[in-house]
Amino acid sequence: MKLYFYQIILVTLVAIASITPVTAQETIHITTDRSLYISGEPMWIYAHCSASSGNKHSNISKVGYIEILNKENTPVFQSKIHLTPGNNTVGVYVPDTISTGNYILRAYTQWMRNYHYDLFKYKPISVINPFSADKFPTSESLFKKDTVLTFAESDKLLADKENLLMVQVLDPYGKGRQVKAFITNSNHDTISNFNTNKQGFAKTTLSPSFGDSYYIKYSVDGSSNVHKLTSASKEGFVLSLKFTNNNTHLTVITNQKNTTGYKLHLSSLKGDFIQNYIIKDNFIEISNDKLPQGYICAQLLNHKGELLASRYFLAHVPNAITPSQIKLDKSIYKPREQVNMQLTGFTHLKNKTVSVCKACLTQSTDYINNQNTLGSYSYNNLKKWVTENIEINDILLCFSAPNGIWQTIPKINYIPEYKGKIITGTLLNKTNHQPIAHEKVMLNIVGSKSIIDIASTDSLGRFKFTINQFGNFELVIQPFQSKEGLLDYKVDIDYAYCNIFPHHAIPEFSLTKNEAHNVNKAIINMQINTVYNQNRYDTKKEINSDTISFYGSPNYSIQLSKFIELTTAAEIIKELVPHTVISKKKGKPHITIYEESSMNTSVGESFTLVDGIYINDVDRILEIEGNEIKKIDLINSNYFVKGIELGRILAFYTQNGNLEAVDFDERIFRQSHTGYSTPYIFHATDYDSTSISKSSEPDYRNLLYWKTDFTNNKHSFFTSDEKSKFTITINGINQFGELEQYQKEFEVK
């Protein structure tokens, strides 16, 4: 959606962005109840929109967009979420049309689309479709053999230069392997050696020669393992990081002779601009006092603004925080027994969620699950890999810095949806496809209440409406109080979702045989729960929705069930609707509405609606059968919307509320539309309840408990009939706007 037709808004937003660039950015944090889903099961999603500088709620956007992308970057699921300071929980069923595989869940706002798409939130998930004929792939282990991961500064090795290299060795089950390893060249000469820690991590240096090949070699149980390193580049740039006292040193390592005048661009993890520095003698020294806390992205740019190298670093190690703990009254429970949980040390987190589900449906690994999602790893979560010889900035080499270059003032193509969902499009002449400029257009929604918004098209025929609706509905867009000559039109609605996709590589899906066995049991559980309706959630009250008609309480509301049945709408108006007269003008029926008797009695034009839709042709209304009409609302004084006079309102509502009772003019634009996903609240099974405690129905819930946006430290829930291992997962947003996660396992026997 281009802003050339909103000049005032554009000037305001550019002014905000240029004066306060930090507060002009926001981010959506998404947490889910687990990481592996079965088609047909509910997926619980909690979304919170916060200012990029921390965990305070952002007031910029009220609408969040969530998509599930497959490995071809095709959206297989899309949803809109109504964002408020809390209670942003939705429950959606994983479509049974989704194939078994790995996917990416991404979230963003329209305002975030003005920045690079790398700033969207991404979360890897897996889906198993038991209804598909294809069996999900299994193996004895996660990998066919040991896996060696290598991470160089700025993601490259430079020939004839000393390069810092992080290495992680994983066994076939994805667990860190502690080994002594050697780096050799193509002549089998040993260049260096290193020892990995319990998580399989090690730090070493390498000065490769151009054209030579290098290998990491180690032995386990008499078996030799060999991993070939990426070939060294003769040309390129690397940002090398060192700390001395209270300063950060960034050195440009390159074979190029002159880099004077190159720029070092620093931004936060959320893309907020921090500072630019001009490179001199391939070196920059920055006082840590001038750098904010939190992750920082450094990007090296040449004279043309082209990105040459990038990396993450942390200038300030956060102050020590009380260790966060999940305490249970037991480690082993019986079926249908109450679990009491105490949380300590979580006060530094906001927008917390807690989930308790089968352990096989929650991913917990020793390796970085997605190198493009540093925002999903807070310092508290990364420090588990920090040892005596490996610092936090060494671990940050495992994350790929984005390729996008962020600017202080972004190119604003999308305005923030701070009041609700914005629908934009173009009004065109149906015959010659030319835009219809400077025409008032009206949006209505089909239903049991009347919703209206009025806009004017600009010189290019562009319009903008704002609505707040949940679920699926039909909208109607037409020229305001349209005349016959203006019905030769068509409407092009803009696509609401972002059509630019990341370059994240999604790995192939596989399970070990043991994992497959446990997941098969979870599939059976899901099928049992479906039969006995054990999913335990109810529709939640809609928040800030357009729940009443735009005109509020009518002067008169005639409920037709209280009267004898009349044949047509015309008879009902004559007999039952006060202050209303049907007459004829130029041979066509006309409805006139009078005000209450007063010293200056006045007569006004009628604005007639059927099931929320403006109908200009009175003939169509008068022909509605009497038994189809449920009620009629009357406003018998002039009504205005956005300073535009509608006249006196006469609103008809039919029994079904779907406009079927009226002969609708097919020339008028009418389209199905999807609003916000309906919010839900999770109901955990309570065996203290008399009605449930005596129930003999089987209980094989995969998800035992789900709670969002909580502040209390004590939680309790009941186990099911399933004898298995379960994982408790706590997620929350820390003061730097990063997602922290903590897990604890217990067993039901």
Task: Work out whether strand 703-708 and strand 350-358 pair parallel, antiparallel, or are unpaired.
Answer: antiparallel
**For residue 8, what pLDDT band results from cuts at 50, 70 and 90?**
very low
Rounded-to-integer distance, Cα 404 and Cα 372, Å: 12
The tokens describing 164, both together, are 């810092």
Facing residues of 77 across strands?
A: 68
Give one DSSP letter per residue of 47-77, joined into a string: EEEEETTSSSBPSS-SEEEEEEE-TT--EEE
Per-residue model confidence as pLDDT tens digits over 459-486: 999 999 999 998 899 999 999 876 555 6
CA distance between the termini of the chain: 57
> Across residues 531-557, what is the average pLDDT?
71
Residue type, 185: N
Sheet containing 283-287: order of strands: 237-244, 247-254, 283-287
For all residues of the chain together, what is the average pLDDT? 85
C-alpha 113/C-alpha 26 separation (Å) is 11
CA 718 – CA 248 distance, rounded (Å)? 51
Quick one: average pLDDT of 651-673?
92
Residue 1 has, within 13 A of its CA and on its CB side, a CA count of 25
Q: With bands split at pLDDT 50, 70 and 90, how would you rate the model's confidence at 453?
A: very high
- What is the rounded average pLDDT of the residues 732-738? 85
Among the ranges given (35-39, 426-430, 604-608, 627-631), the one the predictor scored with the smallest mean pLDDT: 604-608
In terms of DSSP bridges, do strands 714-718 and 680-682 run parallel, antiparallel, or are they unpaired?
unpaired
Predicted pLDDT of residue 639: 92
Q: Quick one: how far is CA 648 from the chain centroid?
A: 43
Is residue 17 over pLDDT 60?
A: no
Structure tokens at 459: 């010189």
* Local structure of residue 289 (DSSP, 8 states): G
Do the beta carbons of residue 707 and residue 724 sit within 8 Å?
no
CA 75 to mean position of chain CA atoms: 13
Higher-pLDDT residue of 492, 52: 492
| pLDDT score, position 321 | 65
Is 532's pLDDT higher than 70? yes
Pick the range with the lowest mean pLDDT from 7-21, 192-206, 417-431, 509-523. 7-21
Residue 503: pLDDT above 80?
Answer: no
Closest by Cα among 706, 709, 720 to 44: 706
Distance CA 553, CA 307 (A): 60
pLDDT level of residue 540 (50, 70, 90 thresholds): low
Q: Which residue has the higher pLDDT, 659 or 56?
A: 659
From edge to edge, which strands make up the β-sheet containing 472-479? 452-456, 440-445, 472-479, 669-674
| Cα–Cα distance, 104 to 122 (Å, whole number) | 6
User: For 425-451, what is each residue's pLDDT tens digit?
Assistant: 999 998 899 999 999 999 999 999 999
Integer Cα distance of 135 and 121 in angstroms: 31
> What pLDDT, on a 0 to 100 scale, did the predictor assign at position 244?
74
Residue 583 has pLDDT above 90, yes or no: no
Q: Which of 397, 398, 484, 487 is nearest to 670 (CA)?
A: 487
Q: Please tell me the distance from the alpha carbon of residue 272 to that of residue 722, in angstroms, as a whole number.
A: 47
Domains and CATH numbers, the chain: 157-228 (2.60.40.10), 556-668 (2.170.130)
Q: Is the pLDDT of residue 242 over 70?
A: yes
Lowest mean pLDDT among 127-141, 421-435, 592-606: 592-606
| Secondary structure (H, E, C), 687-737 | CCCHHHHCCCCCCCCCEEEEEECCCCCEEEEECCCCCCEEEEEEEEECCCC
pLDDT at residue 407 in the model: 54
- One-letter amino acid at 674 equals T
Q: Which amino acid is at 215?
A: Y
Q: What is the rounded CA–CA span in Å between residue 661 and residue 627?
A: 10
CB atoms near residue 566 (< 10 Å): 18
Residue 87 pLDDT: 62
- The candidate with the shortest Cα–Cα distance to 591, out of 577, 572, 605, 601, is 605
Query: What is d(CA 107, CA 476) in angstroms, rounded to the nearest whole number?
Result: 29
* 345 DSSP β-pair partners: none
Compute the Cα dihedral for 573, 574, 577, 578 and give only its sign.
positive
Q: For residue 21, what pLDDT band results from cuts at 50, 70 and 90?
A: very low
Q: Tell me whether strands 325-328 and 338-344 are parallel, antiparallel or unpaired.
A: antiparallel
317 or 346, greater pLDDT? 346
- Under the banding of pLDDT at 50, 70 and 90, the label for residue 697 is confident
**Among positive and negative, which fits the CA dihedral 92, 96, 97, 99?**
positive
Mean pLDDT of 218-243: 90
Predicted pLDDT at 541: 53
Of 220, 49, 271, 250, give the one whose Cα is nearest residue 154: 250
Of all residues in the chain, what percent carry a pLDDT higher than 90? 49
Q: What is the pLDDT of residue 484?
A: 58
Which pLDDT does position 380 carry in this prediction?
82
Concatenate the DSSP letters of all residues of 191-214 into one string. EEEEE--TTSEEEEEE-PPTT--E
The Cα–Cα gap between 205 and 192 comes to 8
Structure-block tokens of residue 495:
């696509």
